[in-house]
């Protein structure tokens, strides 16, 4: 019998579908301008899916709808067979999945005054999760943040690329089943981008995590992703 | 591809022309509005300057004719005691709340988050090294000293200490006087008698009272009171509260009128700091400060003690000068009986107790000054409230992206609110400690400015400061926190700026 890889409390949402995310006919407009025109897309579990497109194509809008941050005008998004309730007073995924979804933004959004370690552990604690330091350190080392001195420094003293990596570790530290990333390597050079995605690939292969990432240029990461979807003018190509 | 020339893309020229015309029109409208405002301000400035120049403005007081409201006075009279009671409860409660959070933070992840986030600002304008003191503060308690709130605390404690001194300070000479004369009952001109109110009993009535009291075995001591002035050799003057007592021949201030009103011996309250044997002038009469008394001074009034005889002969310039009151060491009932038997001419006179005399004094000063000083304490609280509210709003603006990211990542808004409330609670404790400590030295300033003024900071004043700190810091952040979801707007603040 196949073992259910999800945590106990999360299993109630899972009815043995192979889909991590199901997007059905999602529309979104801003001030009369259509950003998304009926997007439908399924994302398999334990895969890396890259959403690409030009600036203003609607790729980030789609990801933010999956993240539960933006509310679609029409259509629905299902995560692990559970519809996101955008009408809930607390828009977002927290009521639905809490620590089982990791979120990354276009900028690191770290607490610049707090240390690197605090940025990671306090996020977990705020959600009521006790941090596992070996896991956190392992992730930091995997992303090349292996300078112990830097871990105690204020996050604001790190370079932009390092801060993005810390934000990635922060999103991964709770061992999420789904990771939703918005241009995670925008501040990282091409070599660094490859290294980041190689690490993400390893994580997916070893833990079964599903990753959906928005990228500007997917050429660099072709070797590490399972699927690429392109959005142009709010429509899937 | 559009053909480009000097005029831009040909295809869009009509649209661009229309857009350009529209923008120009809007800018002309905006310029006209700005011109109108500028003209209005120039007219206003001319009017104000003209008013000041002609002197009209110096007589212009908008609020002078506001009516007196006795209910408001009564409320303001008691405000300091309400605040003190609140502070006595709020400060230990807040401290206990912070302590409990720290104790249970080791066992509960969310409490750990709340404690750590509330001890440090999320973002700072720079990554400069933090000072040693700030590091200690962050490790032990809170990340900053809420200076504006501390100023509010200081002002509140100081205002109340001044109010208390103004109200209760005049008790000092009364208590000192009453300690000198045995007995709890007074015969005075009116039931409202108190040192700031003149009153007199004729020498014949006082003589009869003394005779009748003696026949009943009651001790009766008459004394004279005068509100006057000391002038030092250098021209410096003090207002005085002068008391004249009968003095035995062995006393340093014993005096016989045969010597004339020259170099009369007096005792002056120590707070005037007049060196012993200094030549001074009391109400125009030359005197020598032969000794000191203590505790006879009140606000702006230095206590002076002299012989009853010299006060009547030299200060009041009348051998039959009246006395102010007679103190009897008997019950009010027997004193009333003595007064009734003595007052054959039906002069204005009544029996009151020493405590009534004290109450009259407190009531007089309380009604005159306390509402004003308590209003200052209230304004200090409002100041702290507004300052902390503005500080919270500023912090939300500074940290809204970080807070939005937290909220989007699954950290409950309730947890974020709790951390900001705990931050405010920590601010309130720091503000109370810092502001309270500063307030301890503030009475020296007023005490040095006003002779006989002895303002001090005690537990009541500190409790009022604590109340202002708590209300200001925690109350100030409530409003922004109630609408935290709207204030941090996750959708807006997680976009790339």
Render pLDDT for B266-278 as a digit per residue (tens, 0 to 9).
999 888 888 999 9
Domain match, B237 and B150 both: no
Picking from A90, A113, A132, A167 by the largest number of B CB atoms within 10 A of its own CB, the best residue to mutate is A113
The pair of structure tokens assigned to A39 is: 């997007």
Angle between helices B203-215 and B332-342 (to 10 degrees): 120
Domain match, B481 and B407 both: yes
Give every CB contact of residue B283 below 8 A, 6+ residues apart in sequence. B226, B228, B229, B242, B315
Domain coverage including residue B200:
171-357
Domain match, B96 and B140 both: yes
Chain-chain contact of A122 with B113 (C-beta, under 8 angstroms): yes
Domain match, B306 and B185 both: yes
Q: By mean pLDDT, which of A51-65, A218-232, B482-496 is the weakest?
A: B482-496
DSSP line for B403-431: HHHHHHTT--HHHHHHHHHHHHHHHHHHH
Chain-chain contact of B410 with A68 (C-beta, under 8 angstroms): no
Q: What part of B 198-237 touches A (C-beta under 8 Å)?
A: none
Looking at residue B22, the DSSP 8-state letter turns out to be H
pLDDT at residue number B4: 42
In a domain, B112, yes or no: yes
- State the number of CA atoms in the 13 A half-sphere of B24 facing the CB: 6
pLDDT at residue number A181: 95
Q: What gap in Å lies between CA B319 and CA B263, rounded to an integer?
A: 19
pLDDT at residue number B133: 66
Looking at residue A2, the DSSP 8-state letter turns out to be P
In a domain, B7, yes or no: no
Closest listed residue to residue B446, CA positions, set B246, B165, B68: B165
pLDDT at residue number B2: 42
pTM over 0.80: no
Closest listed residue to residue B363, CA positions, set B214, B179, B171, B232: B171
Number of structural domains (chain B) is 2
Domain C-terminal end among B333, B357, B381: B357
Chains A, B: CB contacts under 8 A, how many?
Answer: 98
A132 contacts on B by Cβ (under 8 Å):
none
Domain match, B186 and B320 both: yes
B124 contacts on A by Cβ (under 8 Å):
112-113, 154, 156
pLDDT at residue number B479: 82
In a domain, B66, yes or no: no
pLDDT at residue number A179: 94
**A168: distance to nearest CA of chain B, Å?**
12
A124 contacts on B by Cβ (under 8 Å):
109
Residue A1 has pLDDT above 60, yes or no: no
pLDDT at residue number B448: 83
The Cα angle at residue B241 between residues B240 and B243, in degrees rounded to 5: 125
In a domain, B250, yes or no: yes
Chain-chain contact of B409 with A171 (C-beta, under 8 angstroms): yes
A4 pLDDT band, cuts 50/70/90, is: very low
Domain match, B381 and B432 both: yes
Domain match, B204 and B113 both: no
Mean pLDDT of A16-33: 88
Mean pLDDT of A146-152: 85
pLDDT at residue number B182: 81
3-state secondary structure of B320: coil
pLDDT at residue number B296: 82
pLDDT at residue number B3: 42
Domain match, B435 and B420 both: yes
B495 contacts on A by Cβ (under 8 Å):
106
For chain A, the 3-state helix, strand and coil shares in percent, each to the nearest 5, are 35, 25, 40
pLDDT at residue number A93: 56
In a domain, B47, yes or no: no
Chain-chain contact of A112 with B116 (C-beta, under 8 angstroms): no
Give every CB contact of residue B308 below 8 A, 6+ residues apart in sequence. B222, B223, B224, B244, B245, B246, B247, B323
In a domain, B292, yes or no: yes
pLDDT at residue number A89: 46
> What is the percentage of chain A residues whose pLDDT exceeds 90?
59
Find the CB nearest A127 among B404, B410, B485.
B410
pLDDT at residue number B5: 45
Tell me the pLDDT tens digit for each residue of B64-76. Answer: 666 667 777 777 7
Picking from A56, A104, A126, A177 by the largest number of B CB atoms within 10 A of its own CB, the best residue to mutate is A126
A10 pLDDT band, cuts 50/70/90, is: very low
CA dihedral B444, B445, B451, B455 (to 10 degrees): -50
Residue A11 has pLDDT above 70, yes or no: no
A8 pLDDT band, cuts 50/70/90, is: very low
Find the CB nearest B408 among A69, A126, A156.
A69
Give every CB contact of residue A44 below 8 A, 6+ residues apart in sequence. A18, A19, A20, A210, A226, A227
Reading phi first (left if > 0) and then psi (alpha if -120 to 50, else beta), residue B410 is in left
Looking at this predicted complex, what is its ipTM?
Answer: 0.86
H-run or E-run covering B45: helix B13-54
Calculate the average pLDDT of chain B: 84
A71 contacts on B by Cβ (under 8 Å):
491
- Quickly list H helices, B141-243: 147-168, 171-180, 203-215
- Quickly list H helices, A29-132: 59-66, 116-126
Chain-chain contact of B410 with A92 (C-beta, under 8 angstroms): yes
Domain match, B132 and B177 both: no
B496 contacts on A by Cβ (under 8 Å):
105-107
Q: What gap in Å lies between CA A199 and CA A195, rounded to an integer?
A: 6
Chain-chain contact of B113 with A67 (C-beta, under 8 angstroms): no
More reliable by pLDDT, A70 or B317: A70
Domain match, B353 and B429 both: no
pLDDT at residue number B289: 93
Closest listed residue to residue B395, CA positions, set A68, A111, A29: A111
Domain C-terminal end among B357, B392, B416: B357
Domain match, B205 and B326 both: yes
Picking from B409, B422, B484 by the largest number of A CB atoms within 10 A of its own CB, the best residue to mutate is B409
First and final C-alpha spacing in chain A: 38
In a domain, B5, yes or no: no
Instruction: For chain A, state the CA radius of gyration.
Output: 17
Domain C-terminal end among B315, B331, B357: B357
pLDDT at residue number A108: 92
Which residues, given as ranges, of chain B have pLDDT below 70?
A: 1-12, 55-68, 124-145, 299, 319, 497
Q: What part of B 69-128 touches A (C-beta under 8 Å)?
A: 109-110, 112-113, 116-117, 120-124, 127
pLDDT at residue number B132: 67
Q: What's the Cα-to-Cα distance from B180 to each of A156, B19, B308, rounded to whole Å? A: 72, 94, 14
Domain match, B131 and B224 both: no
In a domain, B88, yes or no: yes
Say if B261 is an interface residue toward chain A (CB within 8 Å). no
Calculate the average pLDDT of chain A: 86
pLDDT at residue number B134: 63
């Amino acid at each position: 019998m196949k073992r259910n890889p999800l945590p106990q409390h999360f299993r109630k949402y899972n009815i043995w579908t192979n889909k991590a995310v199901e997007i059905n006919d999602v529309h979104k407009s801003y001030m009369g301008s259509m950003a998304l025109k009926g997007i439908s897309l399924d994302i398999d579990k334990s895969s890396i899916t890259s959403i690409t497109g030009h600036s203003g194509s609607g790729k980030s809008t789609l990801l933010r709808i999956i993240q539960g941050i933006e509310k679609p005008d029409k259509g629905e998004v299902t995560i692990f067979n559970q519809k996101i309730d955008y009408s809930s007073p607390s828009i977002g995924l927290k009521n639905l999945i809490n620590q089982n979804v990791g979120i990354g933004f276009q900028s690191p959004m770290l607490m610049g005054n707090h240390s690197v370690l605090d940025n990671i552990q306090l996020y977990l604690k705020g959600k009521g999760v006790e941090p596992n330091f070996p896991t956190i350190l392992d992730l930091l080392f995997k992303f090349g943040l292996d300078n112990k001195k830097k871990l105690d420094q204020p996050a604001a003293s790190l370079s932009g690329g390092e801060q993005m990596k810390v934000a990635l570790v922060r999103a991964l530290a709770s061992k999420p089943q789904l990771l939703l990333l918005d241009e995670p390597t925008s501040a990282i050079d091409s070599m660094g981008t490859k290294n980041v995605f190689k690490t993400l690939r390893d994580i997916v292969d070893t833990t079964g995590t599903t990753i959906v990432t928005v990228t500007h240029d997917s050429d660099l990461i072709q070797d590490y992703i399972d699927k690429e979807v392109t959005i142009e003018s709010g429509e899937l190509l | 591809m559009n053909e480009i020339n000097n005029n831009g893309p040909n295809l869009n020229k009509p649209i661009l022309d229309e857009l350009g015309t529209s923008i120009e029109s809007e800018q002309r409208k905006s310029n006209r509005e700005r011109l109108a405002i500028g003209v209005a301000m120039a007219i206003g400035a001319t009017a104000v300057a003209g008013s000041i120049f002609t002197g009209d403005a110096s007589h212009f007081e908008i609020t002078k004719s506001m009516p007196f409201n006795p209910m408001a006075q009564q409320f303001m009279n008691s405000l300091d005691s309400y605040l003190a009671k609140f502070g006595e409860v709020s400060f230990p409660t807040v401290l206990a709340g912070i302590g409990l959070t720290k104790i249970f933070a080791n066992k509960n992840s969310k409490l750990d988050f709340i404690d750590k986030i509330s001890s440090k600002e999320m973002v700072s304008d720079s990554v400069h090294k933090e000072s040693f003191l700030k590091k200690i503060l962050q490790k032990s308690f809170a990340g900053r000293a809420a200076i504006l709130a501390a100023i509010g605390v200081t002002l509140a404690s100081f205002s109340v200490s001044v109010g208390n001194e103004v109200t209760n300070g005049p008790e000092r000479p009364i208590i000192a006087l009453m300690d000198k004369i045995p007995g709890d009952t007074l015969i005075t001109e009116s039931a409202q008698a108190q040192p700031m109110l003149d009153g007199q009993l004729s020498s014949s009535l006082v003589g009869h009272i003394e005779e009748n009291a003696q026949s009943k075995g009651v001790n009766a001591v008459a004394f004279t009171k005068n509100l006057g002035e000391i002038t030092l050799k250098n021209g410096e003057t003090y207002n005085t509260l002068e008391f004249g007592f009968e003095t035995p021949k062995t006393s340093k201030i014993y005096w016989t009128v045969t010597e004339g009103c020259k170099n009369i011996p007096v005792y002056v309250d120590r707070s005037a700091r007049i060196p012993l044997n200094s030549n001074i002038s009391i109400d125009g009469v030359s005197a020598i400060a032969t000794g000191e008394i203590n505790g006879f001074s009140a606000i702006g009034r230095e206590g002076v003690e002299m012989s009853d005889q010299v006060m009547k002969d030299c200060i009041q310039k009348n051998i039959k000068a009246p006395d102010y009151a007679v103190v009897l060491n008997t019950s009010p009932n027997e004193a009333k009986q003595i007064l009734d038997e003595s007052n054959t001419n039906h002069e204005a006179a009544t029996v009151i107790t020493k405590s009534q005399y004290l109450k009259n004094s407190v009531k007089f000063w309380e009604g005159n000054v306390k509402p004003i000083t308590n209003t200052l304490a209230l304004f200090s609280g409002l100041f702290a409230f507004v300052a902390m509210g503005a500080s919270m709003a500023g912090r939300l603006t500074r940290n809204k992206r970080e807070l939005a990211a937290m909220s989007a990542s699954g950290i409950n808004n309730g947890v974020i609110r709790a951390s900001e409330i705990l931050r405010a609670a920590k601010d309130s404790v720091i503000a109370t400690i810092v502001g309270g400590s500063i307030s301890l030295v503030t009475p020296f300033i007023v005490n040095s400015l006003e002779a006989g003024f002895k303002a001090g900071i005690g537990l009541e004043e500190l409790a009022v400061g604590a109340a202002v700190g708590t209300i200001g810091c925690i109350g100030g952040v409530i409003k922004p926190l109630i609408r935290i979801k709207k204030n941090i707007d996750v959708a807006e603040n997680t976009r790339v700026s």
